[in-house]
Structure 1
Amino acid sequence: MIKAAEQAFKTEFTPRDRELLQSYFHLAESMADLIGPHCEVVIHSLESFEQSVVKIVNGHHTGRKVGSPITDLGLKMLRQYEQTGELTPKSYFSNNKGGEMLKSSTCILQGEKGRPIGMFCVNMNLSYPFPEIIKTLMPDTTQHHSFDMTENFSASAGDVVEQALNHAIAEVEADDSVNLKGRNKAITKVLFDNGIFELKEATNIVSNHLSITKHAVYKYIREFKS
């Protein structure tokens, strides 16, 4: 079955195709870290169906490793893609060899000219005790990490700048080592270190809020860069 399917999809990979496929490796690591150890993330290459697994994280859930072949369901999804062009079929449930239930999602990865070159697969092992799954999604208070990190989810760049500016002001005003004369520069430094001035509206918003000129803001930024 693999040989027949491979003939149907067989195309010569270009260096760019391999580069694009490898660019997803870090995403696989990141997703597995986000969801937790009960989640397996796999990247298949369609260059060789017999050795299609080119990246796998937490492979113990299915007993696979780099160099393992594509699955029968993977072949079926490729056939469906050929017929429908659907890149992201709905999630599905299956069982591994040990009988453990998996909830999975697979996405077809495209290379040059829109040709399918791989598959990005996520398999969550639902047979883990639910409290263990929840525990991996919550912060570990025994490590004494700080959980006051903020992220500004806004619909406009201006809102992102405004919220970042408010956080920077609060941070500087809580620092007794910063005097009144150095306040504006210190606030600008916090924003600079956090990359806020990559947003085009930042300079205007900061200068208006701090009641200083844009030239003063640019002067601070030049000093920080040097």
Structure 2
Amino acid sequence: MNQTILKQYSILVEFLGKTLGPDYEVVLHDTKNYTNSIVAIANGHISGRTIGAPMTNFGLNVISDKSYKNCDYKLNYNGISKDQRILRSSTMFIKDENEELVGMLCINFDDRRYVDISNQILKLCHPDELVEQNSTYKSVNSIIDEAESFSGSIAEVTSTVLKKVLSDNNIPIDRLTQDERLRIVDILNQKGIFMLKGAVSEVAKQLHCSEPSIYRYLNKLQKYKED
């Protein structure tokens, strides 16, 4: 049944991509396959992704905390492309007859061309003040903590989330203690990173420890939860 639903939405991806035009990326995620999540994509040049790319940090969070159960979509939040452009993103949660999540339909709008045109028109009226007032762009650095990142590989997804965790907790990666590694693994686990196939290997590599160590941390966290 899930594949039938996704097949219908795959047609919608192609339709919307052609209808909306090249500034709108339309993406369909299979939420049962986190590692190769994208099953259809139109105008993928916007984020640089293709079919088979993994679930985003936003998607992993939604699945992990089950926030999709309380709503059908999320509108107009920030996304960041690989080349550090700010996109306006919206996601619809595709659910089956039991209200379980089977997919996500995402639209990412790149409004660069329209902002440039708008600013050029305003410059005809006033060279400075009106242009400054019209500019709604925030810098990438100012939104990176809250934005969805579009990654083309497990390594990129892991790195994006891990960098934010280290930054938020002011932890230097070059001299981590065992307790700090445990805390980092706990946060990454809560964010759904370990749902990705190969994530243990990537986290171990980026935390400069062994894969068995990561599994030991995960087992310890599970025991804490059960106690």
TM category, shorter: 0.3 to 0.5
Q: TM-score, normalised by structure 2?
A: 0.48
Higher relative contact order (CA 8 A, sep 6+): 2
Q: Could you tell me the TM-score, scaled by structure 1's length?
A: 0.48
